[in-house]
Amino acid sequence: MNKTTTSNFHNKSKQLPPIKTEKPDPSIIKLSDEKKYIALSRQDFNNSIIQKWGEIIINKLPIRRTNHVSFIYDNYFYIFGGRDINETKMNDMYRVKLDFSEESNEKWEKINYEGKIIPNCVSGHKGLLIGNLLYIFGGVNITERANNKVYIFNIDDRRWEEREFSESEVLPLSSHSMSLVGNLIVVVGGYSKGQFNEKTFLYDYENNIWDYYPKDKYEDEKEEEKKEENEKEENEKEEKEEKNSNFPENEKNKRDGKKILEKNKSFNKLINNINNKMTFSDNTYNRRTGVRKYYKQKKSRDYH
């Protein structure tokens, strides 16, 4: 049984038609006399029968790179960041107009940023275009350390906005995936501090709030402990406020206490003086009686 099935399989595979290798369609290719160029490729999905890739050869301007972000806006193809052949990170942005006609002579154009905020050189980051805003998250810098910042680039104004977060809100990530679901940016996978990320992060970009799933094992207990600590701190603050509000009454009590102590001290002195006098008189009385007893004993000895 096995031999027949395998032989039939090989016979069927031999009967398949050979794959045709066609030359690129000149209508979607722009040739260049220069040897140095940056090549863009596209696939023609309009033809349902033959789907093929074409190459758009454009004069070289940007440095060759990988692990960058690319997107299309207003019929322009943009690239941002990435690393070159020497593993050098970049934070530059270029664009080129997508004109597939033979007469076009489009070239790469460097985007000059406006304002003081400019992202760090980064590679392995992800980008997402929402309207005219480009959201960039994560990636590694020149020291190969991942970050958890969100940069927002306004394409029309050419200005950047920076949003910083703590690691308790979102982990520093690189080589992750990022998609838009409703009003949430969903971040999945990637690396964080040399380890695989198992959490899914959700970013509400309108309200600037992060959340993640699944939660830690003892996340509920940690939250309860935090609540208890916050309640204790609030109670301590309330007690301090009450003490501060009763400041004059406390001062009055302190003064009254001092007066009572002073009275007790004077009273104790009086008692001590009385005791001293009583002991003095007792001592004199004992001395007198002792002298009398001594003379009486002496007289009796002399008489005998």
Helix residue spans in the chain (DSSP H):
2-15, 219-245, 247-303
Please name which of 33, 129, 115 lies closest in space to residue 72, comparing C-alpha atoms: 129
Residue showing tokens 């980008």? 127
Please classify residue 120 by burial: count the beta carbons closer than 10 Å to its beta carbon, then call 0-12 exposed, 13-18 middle and 19+ buried.
middle
Tell me the C-alpha distance between 245 and 250, whole Å.
10
Query: At 83, which amino acid appears?
Result: R
73 neighbors 129 (Cβ within 8 angstroms): yes
Backbone angles phi, psi at 185, to 5 degrees: -95, 120
Query: CA angle, corner 20, sides to 19 and 24, nearest 5?
Result: 135
- β-sheet bridge partners, residue 200: 188, 213
Q: What is the pLDDT of residue 62?
A: 87
Please name which of 137, 127, 138 lies closest in space to residue 73, comparing C-alpha atoms: 127
Q: What is the CA radius of gyration of the chain?
A: 46
- β-sheet bridge partners, residue 123: 140
pLDDT by position in tens, the chain (length 304):
444 444 443 444 444 444 444 444 444 334 344 434 456 666 666 665 556 676 666 777 788 899 999 999 999 999 999 999 888 999 999 999 887 676 667 788 999 999 999 999 999 999 999 999 999 999 999 888 999 999 999 999 999 999 999 998 999 999 999 999 999 999 999 999 889 999 999 999 999 999 988 876 556 666 777 788 888 888 888 777 776 665 555 565 666 666 676 666 666 766 676 666 555 555 555 556 665 665 566 556 555 5
